[in-house]
Amino acid sequence: MAESLLFFLPYYLVSGLLIGIVYGLATIGLSLIFGVLRIVNVGHGSFIMIGMYVTYWLFVLVALNPFISLIPALIVGLLLGIIMFYGILRFLVKAPELSTLVATFSIGIMLEELAKIMWGTEYRGFIYSLGSLTLQGIPLPLIRVWPGIVSLLLVVALYLILYKTRFGTAIRAVMQDPEGASICGINVTFVYASTVALGIALTTISGSLLAIYFQQGINPYIGHLYTLRAFVIAVLGGLGSPIGALIGGIIFGIIEQSSVPLFSILGAPNPFGLSVFLAFSLILVILLFRPKGLFGR
């Protein structure tokens, strides 16, 4: 039994790493918006859901390659982010935390209900394959490899934007001191709007990548599961730290995937559910020693 677990462990570690990177990308938008605007987007998962539907419908209706659908998902995310900021969030930048929580929660509910009206409540899915590679004699589908690689490339691109461009310098300046940045000539409102647009765009792209990875179970309320995961990962990595979100996502993904075979061997009735329970429990323990998260400052 133990030998079997050790044999399959590398496979589950790789799977956990790949999905963890996608989880990290799905959390970075949440962390980035909080880091700059100090607004917690409680409706975060609804934007992931929108990205999943973009990929699903473009594949079903026009047979568009799911990876090419990342571009429309990016555009949809940017537009939603701009509308969200100028329509609602710009009036709440200095509002009490409860006001912003209620506002973002309401936005999430509105998106869910609009999705339900437009596409119904039934579960949807599609089949798309790129073949597989072999890891210790076990086939690892490439549709689970490429989302992780693309997510990592996007995180690297975001890092370069934040730390190697004038725009990134402006974002970090506003993050540290909005009033000081304004005195130095930075258009703080523009930075806020750009950050929300960028954060939502990364979120919708992550939704597209999650749709490619799992391909089944897409419905208007699927975002709740990812909202919960994103909050846990963001807190684990340090809320407001994009790199912390990536590392937190990888930790969460590896714990989640690696513990499934262990609980299966032990004869647990719901191995996946228990793996999520274990991941949350271990994260709680980590936060007891690092209350601000691994990269929180």
The answer to whether residue 287 is domain-embedded is no
Q: Which residue has the higher pLDDT, 73 or 232?
A: 73
The parent domain of residue 14 ranges over 8-221
pLDDT band for position 168 (50/70/90)?
very high
Average pLDDT over residues 138-146: 89
For residue 5, what pLDDT is reported?
Answer: 58
Report pLDDT digits (tens) over 184-206: 899 999 999 999 999 999 999 99
In a domain, 282, yes or no: no
Tell me whether residue 93 is in a domain.
yes
Is residue 78 predicted with pLDDT exceeding 80?
Answer: yes
Q: 252: part of which helix (H) or strand (E)?
A: helix 242-265
Range scoring the smallest mean pLDDT among 31-45, 110-124, 159-173, 246-260 = 246-260
Contacts (Cβ under 8 Å, ≥6 apart) of 297 = 238, 241
Which of the two residues, 287 and 236, has the higher pLDDT score? 236
Question: Distance (Å, rounded) from C-alpha 61 to C-alpha 254?
Answer: 35
Q: Nearest Cα to 25, choosing from 164, 221, 156?
A: 156
What pLDDT was estimated at residue 156?
93
Distance CA 74, CA 68 (A): 10
Residues 27-53 have a mean pLDDT of 93
Which stretch of 130-134, 221-225, 256-260 has the lowest confidence by average pLDDT? Answer: 256-260
* Cα separation, 93 vs 161, whole angstroms: 23
Residue 253 forms part of a structural domain: no
Average pLDDT for 104-117 = 95
In a domain, 271, yes or no: no
Mean pLDDT to the nearest integer, 252-267: 77
- 3-state DSSP assignment of residue 139: strand
How many structural domains does the chain have?
A: 1
Q: Given a cut of 60, is residue 3 above it in pLDDT?
A: no
Please indicate, yes or no, if residue 134 is contained in any of the structural domains.
yes
Q: Which of 119, 174, 126, 154 is nearest to 249 (CA)?
A: 154
Burial pattern 58-72, b for ≥16 Cβ within 10 A else e, equals bbeeeebebbebbeb
Q: Tell me whether residue 240 is in a domain.
A: no
- Maximum average pLDDT range among 3-7, 174-178, 235-239, 256-260: 174-178
Residue 277 lies in a domain: no
What percentage of the chain has pLDDT greater than the value 70?
95
Q: Does residue 36 carry a pLDDT above 80?
A: yes
Pick the residue with more confidence: 82 or 282? Answer: 82
